[in-house]
A and B are shown apart, each in its own frame.
Chain A
Amino acid sequence: MSAVHAVRLGGGVALVVRPRAIAVGAVLVVAGAALAVAAVGTGEITLSPAEVVRALVGAGDPGTTFVVRDLRLPRVVCAVLAGVALGVSGAVFQALTRNPLGSPDIVGFQQGAAVGALVVITMLEGTGRAVSAGALAGGGLVAAAVYLLAREGGRTSGYRLILIGIAFAFLMTALTEYLLARARVEDAQEGLRWLFGSLNGRTWEDVAPLALGLAVLLPCAVPAGRALRALELGDDAAHGLGVRVERARVGLVALAVGLVSVSTVAVGPIAFVALTAPQIARRLTRAPAPPLVCSALTGAVLVLAADVAAQRVVPETPVPVGVMTGALGGLYLAWLLTISWRSGHA
């Protein structure tokens, strides 16, 4: 048996892989593809998978092709990309803090983004891009504040990062409620709509910045994964292996915040995916830490599943996707934690 499974691609390229991770990844891709077809088929007119595929490859009638390619596909692509961004972001955060709670939706980023968005919506009467900018500013400020406060004598501990982050999350939630309470009714409604996160009415114009953001950020996940494999052993051990610990940590936090930012701008704060996807992926692959690729795929599958469910469960009044991810993700995490506690592996 080889000590480590490596795939040699020639030209000196060799990647470390685990067979189980490949199998899990393949299953997730198939599940994601099936869900994507189901999602495209969902809407006012239900389309069969065959019709969807025909329209996608350009062999359907013009009406269906328009519905599929221009109306529904952007929504599904948004769901996939947002899921990927959230999955990787959560995996990086959790590996970095060595804690399953170290997720941008627990440690204050999403709550900060919510306050930023609400300030723009309720106080500055802003819409569209201005709301996104407000969300980015709010999330970014909270992330920076949490990071700086968690620093102690030039180093940051994951534990401090999480505790300070949770404190900020509470603070921001209180601010959110205050902003909603003092806002005009229409503004409050608009604010609430943003807070749930939604895929409704997404067009190719919404996909573009998300895709661009991922094209820039995802390649950084490769060196990030390498640094994380060393950091998992503890700061001193990582240092001994030649990692510049604090510099790597700043880079990893920036990557995770960047990923959750592009997703938040495109679809709002979708709850629980960044928290759950890495934990689900970790258990499926039985990896020692959240695996980046499988977390990305799990994130995409979760958002797609939540979107299909949100539209199909009560078709007359579809719930926002964020409500659905919250419900699905929360239940699944509770179930996973229960069985793993029972079998003695937390």
Chain B
Amino acid sequence: MTDASLCAERLTLGYDGRTVATELSVAIPDGGFTAIVGPNACGKSTLLRALARMLAPRAGRVLLDGVEIRQRPTKEVARRLGLLPQTATAPDGIVVADLVARGRHPYQRLLRQWSQEDERAVREAMRRTGVDDLAGRPVDELSGGQRQRVWLAMALAQETSLLLLDEPTTFLDIAHQLEVLELCADLHAAGRTLVAVLHDLNHACRYATHLVAMRDGAIVAQGAPADIVDAELVAAVFGLNCLVVPCPATGAPMVVPCDRRGASVLVEDPVA
């Protein structure tokens, strides 16, 4: 596969004594928006952490630009691949501009802590995410949606062509979820390669160009949403009985769960 700068080959992943996933192979299409979906605790974050060289695989390897990622200097990787983890915490009272500026860490040296280039990248990142008006505000006083945009700005300030996001929309209300996803779509349209763990399968189908569907530490399917998402896949991944219909707004596959008895009014009268 030549069009994937980031790929994993037959990974076995685990923590301490426990193996969480085996035989994971994925290729992240360059310039694509890849969404990793699956039920809770199936290993989505674990896979993302392995791709971002945060977790050493027990077996298999992760390749970035054809080189095993753990053999490349950490700082060099940090200029190529950015990560927004689920666990990121803003220090008490830190202001927006200060947090965004921390994204410049991989470019700074001991005696040259701040350059014009850093300044430009931070401004640009704040503008792109629409947080430039908040520059002097403490992050802990912002709404959930604003805060998530600030974290995205920090990741953008890192100026990496690959961006890995772990559940960027969790804990946000529906309007803010869409706001963050639209922002991701803009970044993708501007040429970045995105990988995001997403909770909502409909959001994934709507915004992503490539899906990786996981269950119990294994990959069930990967491919374009329109090619792989059907009732069978949803049943296999989430154990959910549903209909898959084209979204009236975008035409992307849309999952409509059936009620618990497995019957839906629509079954007798399919939309398509």
- A2 within 8 Å of B (CB atoms): yes
Most A CB within 10 A of own CB, among B84, B101, B112 = B112
- A234 within 8 Å of B (CB atoms): yes
List B contacts of A193 (CB < 8 A): none
Q: A1-B135, A229-B105, A243-B105 are in contact. Are A234 and B111 (CB under 8 A)?
A: no
List A contacts of B87 (CB < 8 A): 234-237
Complex CA distance for A236 and B54, rounded to whole angstroms: 7
Cβ of A208 to closest chain B Cβ, rounded Å: 28
- A45 within 8 Å of B (CB atoms): no
- A153 within 8 Å of B (CB atoms): yes
Of A11-19, A59-67, A179-187, A325-333, the segment with at least 4 beta carbons within 8 Å of chain B is A11-19
Let me know if A239 and B106 touch, CB within 8 A. no
Let me know if B135 and A3 touch, CB within 8 A. yes
Let me know if B91 and A233 touch, CB within 8 A. yes
- B235 within 8 Å of A (CB atoms): no
Q: How many chain B residues touch A (Cβ–Cβ < 8 Å)?
A: 52
- Which of A12, A233, A237, A288 is the one whose CB lies under 8 Å from B112? A12
List B contacts of A226 (CB < 8 A): 105, 108, 110, 113
- A232 within 8 Å of B (CB atoms): yes
Contacting B at CB under 8 A, from A194-232, are 222-223, 226, 229-230, 232
Let me know if B113 and A6 touch, CB within 8 A. yes
- Which of A16, A230, A287, A288 is the one whose CB lies under 8 Å from B114? A16
Complex CA distance for A252 and B93, rounded to whole angstroms: 23
Contacting A at CB under 8 A, from B66-125, are 74-79, 81-94, 97-103, 105-106, 108, 110-115, 118-119, 122-123
- A123 within 8 Å of B (CB atoms): no
Let me know if B88 and A233 touch, CB within 8 A. yes
Complex CA distance for A234 and B135, rounded to whole angstroms: 22
- B47 within 8 Å of A (CB atoms): no
List A contacts of B123 (CB < 8 A): 3
Nearest neighbor of B88 in chain A, beta-carbon distance: A237
Identify the 9 closest CB pairs spanning chains A and B, nearest first. A242-B78, A240-B83, A236-B85, A288-B91, A6-B114, A288-B94, A242-B75, A241-B105, A242-B106
